[in-house]
Amino acid sequence: MRNSLSKFGQAIKLPGLSFALAFTLTGFIIAFSDSKVLSKIGSPLEFIKSAGATAGNAYLALFQGSIFDINLTKGHNFFQGFYPLSETIVIATPLILTGLSVALAFKSGLFNIGAQGQFIFGAIGASYVGFHFQLPIVIHVIAAALAGMALASIWGGAVGLLKAKTGAHEVILTIMMNYIAGYFILWILKTSQFLRPGRIDPIAPEVNQSARLPLLAGANLRIHAGIFIALVAALFVWWLLTKTTIGYKFRAVGANGQAAKTAGISVPFVLTATMAICGALAGLGGAVQVLGSEHALNADIAGSFGFDAITVALLGRAQPLGTVFAALLFGALHAGGRTMQSNTGVPLDIVLVTQALIVLFIAAPTFVRFIFKLKKMSSSAGLTSKGWNG
């Protein structure tokens, strides 16, 4: 028992220190960019006090905006206080799916920067089936989600196929395809098929009621059934990677492509299959976003879900469970960031800095050890991607 406890302590020591370091640094940035704090620079004591208060207030707002806010319970039932938590989960849901897309690619030795584009195609497919067809309840949701996944899977699979057939690097391919997808959605929203009647701004018709994911906690909270889809997807990825032959092949190619080839694994197949599944996962993220919370396709539907997915997967060390937790954390940072911005005037964008710092420190265990003067620490090997020639 004791042994396993200390093991657990070892395992969370590094992430724990990374978090502490990231939040401390962010706190400094918040405090030192505040004009009220800076005006007190003459008296050191006042200065420290004011800096602490500014950063403290920002973090308090971050918590209130992401987990629970007592103020929201006034005049409502107690449950309404969890509105922020609901928001956190609403943001985390697509992030889990795009994060899994990036994580799975990492396992096969691929760096999938293309979750953004795949997300867009997933959203387009789901939106079209959602508003264009009249189908029975349940079936409609499934059909819409599958349509999105299929489109995104083709978009993603193309990357694997091109890499396998031509040796082009997936980082370049996916970056380019993100731009193409970004322009494609702008164009398609102007077409008569997608433009909502009576509107000139780029927004598609709302998906039919039958194609919407059910809300989980009443009409006042936005949390929807998509979170279960995301969790099932995480379970699926875990199962795929650890319990199936194809998952074993994925990991074999990821660990050493040359050895896998020698062992008789078809590398082109693995690359294409991986990217097709990655595409489907990110596409499901887009579908869930449309069917669960947005209900209508718009030009900004993808936000930064595809890019945040990369930091999510890196923080989750490309493990399904880790990705879920990382997505929840980033969902909380984003939801809380909004409240922080409106309550304390600290711009939401600081959340990106925190995100980047956490991932940076997690990816650099030797650095964290160096900072905290730790001699030895058990840590699993750092995540790696493959260079241009890989």
Residues that bind other proteins (CB under 8 A): 29, 33-34, 111, 113, 162, 165-169, 171-173, 175-177, 179-180, 183-184, 186-187, 190, 307, 310-311, 314, 346-347, 349-357, 359-360, 363-364, 366-367, 370, 382-390
Give the pair of three-digit tokens for residue 145. Answer: 């989600």
Q: Smallest distance from the beta carbon of 293 to other proteins, in angstroms?
A: 24
Q: Smallest distance from the beta carbon of 1 to other proteins, in angstroms?
A: 35
Specify whether the backbone of 208 is left (phi greater than 0), alpha (psi in -120 to 50) or beta: beta
Q: Smallest distance from the beta carbon of 160 to other proteins, in angstroms?
A: 13
Cβ closer to other proteins: 89 or 340? 340
Burial call 117-143: b when 16+ CB within 10 Å, e when fewer? bbbbbbbbbbbbbbbbbebeeeebbeb
Please check whether residue 124 is in contact with residue 151, taking contact to mean a CB–CB distance below 8 angstroms.
Answer: yes
Cβ closer to other proteins: 26 or 274? 26
Q: Smallest distance from the beta carbon of 363 to other proteins, in angstroms?
A: 5
Length of the chain: 390
Q: Smallest distance from the beta carbon of 271 to other proteins, in angstroms?
A: 14
Please check whether residue 297 is in contact with residue 203, taking contact to mean a CB–CB distance below 8 angstroms.
Answer: yes
DSSP label at residue 71: G
Cβ closer to other proteins: 3 or 378? 378
Using DSSP, state whether 266 is helix, strand or coil: coil
Cβ closer to other proteins: 151 or 309? 309
Cβ closer to other proteins: 177 or 276? 177
Cβ closer to other proteins: 177 or 301? 177
Q: Smallest distance from the beta carbon of 248 to other proteins, in angstroms?
A: 24
Start-to-end C-alpha separation, the chain: 43
Using DSSP, state whether 243 is helix, strand or coil: helix
Cβ closer to other proteins: 169 or 295? 169
d(C-alpha 281, C-alpha 98), whole Å:
6
Cβ closer to other proteins: 132 or 369? 369
Burial category of 74 from C-beta neighbours within 10 Å (exposed 0-12, middle 13-18, buried 19 and up): exposed
Please check whether residue 154 is in contact with residue 122, taking contact to mean a CB–CB distance below 8 angstroms.
Answer: no
Q: Smallest distance from the beta carbon of 282 to other proteins, in angstroms?
A: 17
Cβ closer to other proteins: 173 or 211? 173
Please check whether residue 220 is in contact with residue 88, taking contact to mean a CB–CB distance below 8 angstroms.
Answer: no
Q: Smallest distance from the beta carbon of 242 to other proteins, in angstroms?
A: 23
Other Cβ atoms closer than 10 A to 383: 17
Q: Smallest distance from the beta carbon of 110 to other proteins, in angstroms?
A: 11
Kindly state the greatest CA–CA separation across the chain. Answer: 71
Cβ closer to other proteins: 43 or 366? 366
Q: Smallest distance from the beta carbon of 150 to other proteins, in angstroms?
A: 22
Q: 3-state DSSP: the chain helix, strand, coil percent, rounded to 5?
A: 70, 0, 25
Phi, psi angles (nearest 5°) of residue 204: -85, 165
Q: At what angle do helices 115-132 and 170-188 cross, to 10 degrees?
A: 30
DSSP label at residue 298: E
How far, in whole angstroms, is CA 182 from its chain's centroid?
A: 18
